[in-house]
Amino acid sequence: MSAAVPPAVDPAVAEEMAREAAAWCALHGLVVGDRADPRSATVPGVGLVHAPFALLPAHLPESFWRQACELAPIFNELVDRVSLDGKFLQDSLSKTRQVDDFTSRLLEIHRKMMEINKEENIRLGLHRSDYMLDSETSSLLQIELNTISASFSGLGPLVSELHRTLINQHGHLLSLEPKRVPGNAASSKFAEALARAWAEFNVDSAIVLMIVQLEERNMKTLSQVEAEGQVLPDGSLLVDGKKVAVVYYRAGYTPNDYPSEAEWSARLLIEQSSAVKCPSISYHLVGTKKIQQELAKPNVLERFLENKEDIAKLRKCFAGLWSLDDEGIIKTAIEKPELFVLKPQREGGGNNIYGLDLRETLTRLQKEGGNALAAYILMQRIFPKASHSYLVRGGICHEGLAISELGIYGAYLRNKDKVVINDQSGYLMRTKVSSSDEGGVAAGFAVLDSLYLTDK
């Protein structure tokens, strides 16, 4: 991300700052479960370590920050509009479903909702749009749009606070000003959106249900919902005897979250109910890579949005995106694999294919024939400028060249024709060593970061 070069830090000062920062993390809850401790996921409060973090914030010209923030409410509205066009979603993903069982199962639930003309009066989206600053074109380009389980809204604001604290203490050595680290209200904004959705549901005794992955302890898994849940004739979702107002998915975005038919039954059960889903099955499908690529085609945005200025702003941030029914682009990608990324329909980091692996995969898929290529899209590779950074993981400070990725959160809530919320809702910065292709923090590729806004 960095277009301006952060100040050099004396290694001894960096080590001292890293120790201070790790202590601050423990005191302020900037912590995650420790995979090395077998009790971490089973005993609350046991086995916690500081979340991996960058010692100092990544530099970004303020003009790009403002551009990214302006895009958030436009993308929120776009997701809602596209989600209402069931035929567009089904048609766009028709080839993908033939070769990708996970997408096929999601589409099947969506088709069943279309058949019964299921209406979602209250629609809640908590999204995150990810960008990188391309050094070749000096353009802010979108990497992807996440419509399910947009992660780190809880920890991101703490990193901004940590960086302001460190700059307050050491700013005289670094020539940095704490006021240039923008405020980050992601956790409170997302909590407010969930609370407002609960209020719109308007049943005081109803609950907000969080769907989590197996090793987590804070709410229900999909299999527990299948065992304990039912939909009443009036559409109410009951889980463990309690009426559910809002279902928030922190799971359900990867095939690993559906190890048996029970999980798929639970997803269908929730979708059939009158509970507010975050996301609904249609919002989930809008976030697929294939839909991202379809929306980037000429004249497709005009199908969903009327405002020409908004459409132009979206187009400006679109990177090159291609479906693999274009033989010319496949040939180019095989010849110059370093200029592309091959993306499957998967979330969660660690899934994209680069370089020689990309060439081999495309060559193999071409030989296989059929619809095998439909499981992927090709994307222009973005080349951000690397800058010198200190990355802290497990109490150890690593020095090296790093690149960053900016995620802008968006919250959208609509009840019938009334738009209750449509806001930019904070941000997430992730920084990784420049030699790493992947960017997931939980997957072990990146660290959490914040922003330092510069004039240019």
8-state DSSP, 283? H
Half-sphere exposure of 402 (CA within 13 A, CB side): 29
* CA–CA gap between residue 304 and residue 83 (Å, rounded): 10
> Of these residues, 196, 267, 289, 359, which one is catalytic?
289
> Of these residues, 128, 196, 277, 359, which one is catalytic?
128
352 is in an annotated binding site: yes
> Of these residues, 129, 146, 149, 387, which one is catalytic?
146
306 is in an annotated binding site: no
> Of these residues, 83, 347, 389, 426, which one is catalytic?
347
> Of these residues, 220, 250, 343, 359, which one is catalytic?
343
343 is in an annotated binding site: yes
290 is in an annotated binding site: no
Q: For residue 215, give both structure tokens.
A: 């090793």
258 is in an annotated binding site: no
Would you say 213 and 46 are in contact if contact means Cβ atoms under 8 Å apart? no
368 is in an annotated binding site: no
> Of these residues, 77, 120, 144, 200, which one is catalytic?
144
Element counts in the chain: helices (H) and strands (E) = 14, 19
8-state DSSP, 243? E
* CA–CA gap between residue 404 and residue 159 (Å, rounded): 14
369 is in an annotated binding site: no
Catalytic residue at 289? yes
> Of these residues, 320, 348, 355, 440, which one is catalytic?
348
Work out the burial of residue 44: count CB atoms within 10 Å of its CB; fewer than 13 is exposed, 13-18 middle, 19 or more buried: exposed
Catalytic residue at 119? no
210 is in an annotated binding site: no
430 is in an annotated binding site: yes
Catalytic residue at 146? yes
> Of these residues, 229, 430, 439, 450, which one is catalytic?
430
Nearest by Cα to 410 from 401, 397, 419 = 419
299 is in an annotated binding site: no
Catalytic residue at 343? yes
* CA–CA gap between residue 191 and residue 197 (Å, rounded): 10
Catalytic residue at 97? no
8-state DSSP, 370? T
* CA–CA gap between residue 93 and residue 77 (Å, rounded): 21
346 is in an annotated binding site: yes
380 is in an annotated binding site: yes
Helix, strand, coil: what percent of the chain each, to 5? 40, 25, 35
415 is in an annotated binding site: no
> Of these residues, 76, 83, 92, 151, which one is catalytic?
151
SS3 state of residue 121: coil
Work out the burial of residue 167: count CB atoms within 10 Å of its CB; fewer than 13 is exposed, 13-18 middle, 19 or more buried: buried
Q: Is omega for the bond preceding 61 within 30 degrees of 0, making it cis?
A: no
15 is in an annotated binding site: no
338 is in an annotated binding site: no
379 is in an annotated binding site: yes
438 is in an annotated binding site: yes
Q: Which residues are annotated as a binding site for substrate?
A: 128, 430
Q: Which residues are annotated as a binding site for Mg(2+)?
A: 144, 146, 347
Q: Which residues are annotated as a binding site?
A: 128, 144, 146, 289, 343-352, 354, 379-382, 405, 430, 432, 438
Catalytic positions are 128, 144, 146, 151, 289, 343, 347-348, 430
Q: Which residues are annotated as a binding site for ATP?
A: 144, 289, 343-352, 354, 379-382, 405, 432, 438
